[in-house]
Chains A and B, each alone.
Chain A
Amino acid sequence: MTRTTIKGLLLASSILGSAGLVQAQDKTLTIESWRNDDLAIWQEKLIPAFEAKNPGIKVVFSPSAPTEYNSALNAKLDAGSAGDLITCRPFDPSLELYNKKHLADLTGLAGMENFSDVAKSAWTTDDGKVTFCVPMASVIHGFIYNKDAFDQLKLSIPTTEEEFFAALDKIKADGNYIPMAMGTKDLWEAATMGYQNIGPNYWKGEEGRLALIKGEQKLTDDAWVEPYRVLAKWKDYLGDGFEAQTYPDSQNLFTLGRAAIYPAGSWEISGFNTQAQFKMGAFPPPVKKAGDTCYISDHTDIGIGLNAKSPNADAAKTFLTWVASPEFADIYANALPGFFSLNSTAVKMTDPLAQEFVSWREKCKSTIRSTYQILSRGTPNLENETWVESANVINGTDTPEVAAKKLQDGLDSWFKPAK
């Protein structure tokens, strides 16, 4: 449709844009990214650190809006005008780029040995042979709580499901705070901060996730329905009119001190640190019974790859090796508390909340979001359906059993597990 027009425009802009660069002696690398929030960090910390060590290579960070990134990037790659380095979304969007030969094979890149297989899983082909992006960061799910509120009500940190609901009951009975700040209007809060947050404890993390992909478990199994049963109980502890409460509403309710607990992703940390006037703490998703192994969602979120048609591939590889180094991990994780390095070398972080989140990696088993790998390839899209059904369960539109059945039916309609 309008693709050719867009192509033309992009081509024109790239030719005009690069015309000025030809004169420069240095090689200039351009990074495509959706993280426009990170512009300052790249320009002030990361890029100067790299350029100081590698004279002759200039790096430009050129982000676009998160919602437009995937389609804009695809158009640019098709037109041949994309930057040298491509920030990779996890799983299928990037795998598709590799299959279309837009991303180069980085399996043998120096520095790749610094990452575990789980860290690389989001950017590795299904057979595990080729890795095409350097893992940059992951986000961890859990609950952030208002420490002042907990002290005031003399609450201790809940570790089991029972204690969790007991704490919520106490906060509700006191009446000063909304027990939990979450809404269902934007749908993804219910799925990401709800289902994917508490779920791993029930489906036993990687064990359940992989069994689902192999077809050994179904979404209608108890392990997958149980988190929905728990979510259905959350309804009574959410604020008035939570059905129309949006994600920014939830953030504001919590940072203004009106809510006691916030089902969170670690990416909230830096925002909350500047907004909230009270002390905050965090706890991992409570387990079912005391003594159970705990599982956390430690979701690989950002990677960075090499545009296969980049004219500066050597310089770009030098940059990627640096991204894979502990030095980058250290600067990045501290500049962006809440985005945790996937590097095997432990990074020392200064932010207490970020430290708390990352400490769970040691006592709990890590997994990634269940719907991301392979299972969201077809139509209907499992991730989107999970958003809709998680909100339905909390709203009471569907029972947990009905929601699980709808999801499994949708998955069955196209997904054939590899035997």
Chain B
Amino acid sequence: MKPRETTMDVSEIKRPRRWHILVFLLPALIVYTAVMILPLIETLRQSFYNTVDGQYAFVGLGNFQVLFGDPRWAADFWNALRNNCVFFLIHMVVQNPIGIALAAMLSIPKLRFSAFYRTAIFLPTLLSFVIVGFIWKLILSPIWGVAPFLMDIVGLKWLFAPWLGRPDSALIAVSLISVWQYIGIPMMLIYAALLNIPDEVIEAAELDGVTGWSQFWKIKLPLILPAIGIISILTFVGNFNAFDLIYTVQGALAGPDKSTDILGTLLYRTFFGFQLQLGDRSMGATIAAIMFLIILAGVSLYLFAIQRRMRRYQF
């Protein structure tokens, strides 16, 4: 008898449905569905359709076959993917370590004017990519640029080259501009993570004789690893969706010789067309679908393979 009674009790004191949760979630759900989920589904749907003999028809994986099977489409696609990987690698190798180093320096308690540095370094992130692209095109201009002028003053003019115009250096130059713009984001996230480390932990480390560099490597770095993971995934998603900066600095053809063409610019040219080239919605949607899959694969890899194994510490 007794156990049954308890179950009845439980069901009787069951809380009323909390409708307000649904009500509060609804606006965000509706907006997100309307502007993100539905267009995404529509894009994926379009990638299975194409115009055949003047009729819009279902072609199955035909578009994907063209993208990977046709030597020209494939060459353009792999070129864009390769450039995109280089673009991402440069961000991972340059932007994130420097971001971490800046955050570590900012969190040194003795540093003066740290608020000023913090603001100054974060400022470019707030600028429009149009402004950033324009400023850097001017700075690096071989004709009116500040860069050749300053390098001339310190006798390094011979090192200057029209970087944005050379196929071998343009991608690196554009990547570094993007690093310059977005370096504030890893810096801020790591800075917040560093401030989160309780003083007791640091004090305990100091009592044990762990100070300076070894304190950073052995105490602080393991504690901010989850933040670094988040930054890596943000960088990944941001880089494989990138388009704006390349478009403003190098144009839609992502010159010279398509050396700065990434998936975003390839998608733009294909979907919307350019000059005499008319837009091809089906092939554009196909490229968009592939981009979606790449990003999905990267994020899943992070969520299932890396984040689960990451050790978290609670204070």
Give chain A's interface residues, CB within 8 Å of chain B: 1-2, 70-71, 91-93, 96, 183-188, 239-246, 249, 253, 371-372, 376, 379-381, 383-384, 387-388, 391-392, 395, 397-398, 410, 413
The answer, among B162, B251, B253, B269, for a CB contact under 8 Å with A241, is B162
Decide if B165 touches A245 in the complex (CB within 8 Å): yes
A392 to B253, CA, bound (A): 13
The A-contacting residues of B in range 187-215, CB under 8 angstroms, are none
B140 contacts which chain A residues (CB < 8 A)?
244
- Tell yes or no: B180 within 8 A of A by CB: no
* A93-B278 contact in complex given A1-B42, A244-B140, A245-B142, C-beta closer than 8 Å: yes
Decide if A384 touches B278 in the complex (CB within 8 Å): no
Decide if A379 touches B143 in the complex (CB within 8 Å): no
Given contacts A184-B256, A186-B251, A397-B256, 19 further A-B contacts (CB under 8 A): A71-B273, A71-B279, A92-B278, A187-B255, A240-B143, A241-B143, A241-B148, A242-B142, A244-B164, A249-B144, A379-B280, A381-B274, A381-B275, A384-B276, A384-B277, A388-B253, A395-B166, A395-B256, A395-B257
Sample (29) of A-B pairs whose CB atoms are under 8 Å apart? A1-B285, A71-B279, A185-B162, A185-B164, A185-B165, A185-B255, A186-B255, A188-B275, A241-B148, A242-B142, A243-B166, A244-B142, A244-B164, A244-B166, A245-B142, A245-B165, A246-B137, A249-B141, A249-B143, A249-B144, A379-B73, A384-B253, A384-B275, A384-B276, A388-B253, A392-B257, A395-B166, A395-B167, A398-B257
**A71 to chain B: closest residue by CB:** B272
B61 contacts which chain A residues (CB < 8 A)?
none
Decide if B276 touches A381 in the complex (CB within 8 Å): yes
B277 contacts which chain A residues (CB < 8 A)?
376, 379, 381, 383-384
**A183 to chain B: closest residue by CB:** B165
Give chain B's interface residues, CB within 8 Å of chain A: 39, 42-43, 46, 72-73, 137, 140-144, 148, 161-167, 251, 253, 255-258, 269, 272-280, 283, 285
Most chain-B Cβ atoms within 10 A of its Cβ — which of A91, A185, A371? A185
A246 to B134, CA, bound (A): 12
B43 contacts which chain A residues (CB < 8 A)?
1
**Minimum distance in angstroms from A10 CB to a CB of chain B:** 17
**Minimum distance in angstroms from A212 CB to a CB of chain B:** 15
Complex A-B, nearest 10 residue pairs according to Cβ-Cβ distance, in ascending order: A241-B142, A243-B165, A244-B162, A244-B165, A241-B162, A381-B277, A376-B276, A243-B162, A383-B276, A244-B164
Decide if B162 touches A242 in the complex (CB within 8 Å): yes
A372 contacts which chain B residues (CB < 8 A)?
276
B280 contacts which chain A residues (CB < 8 A)?
379
B143 contacts which chain A residues (CB < 8 A)?
239-241, 245, 249, 253
A384 to B257, CA, bound (A): 11
Decide if A371 touches B257 in the complex (CB within 8 Å): no
A183 to B275, CA, bound (A): 19
B46 contacts which chain A residues (CB < 8 A)?
1
A96 to B161, CA, bound (A): 44
Decide if B275 touches A383 in the complex (CB within 8 Å): yes
A14 to B277, CA, bound (A): 28
**Minimum distance in angstroms from A65 CB to a CB of chain B:** 13
A186 contacts which chain B residues (CB < 8 A)?
251, 255
The answer, among B42, B137, B165, B274, for a CB contact under 8 Å with A384, is B274
Decide if B251 touches A187 in the complex (CB within 8 Å): yes
A384 to B269, CA, bound (A): 10
**B277 to chain A: closest residue by CB:** A381
Decide if A187 touches B166 in the complex (CB within 8 Å): no
A71 to B256, CA, bound (A): 25
A381 to B272, CA, bound (A): 13
B164 contacts which chain A residues (CB < 8 A)?
185, 243-244
* A391-B161 contact in complex given A239-B143, A245-B142, A245-B143, C-beta closer than 8 Å: no
A392 contacts which chain B residues (CB < 8 A)?
256-257
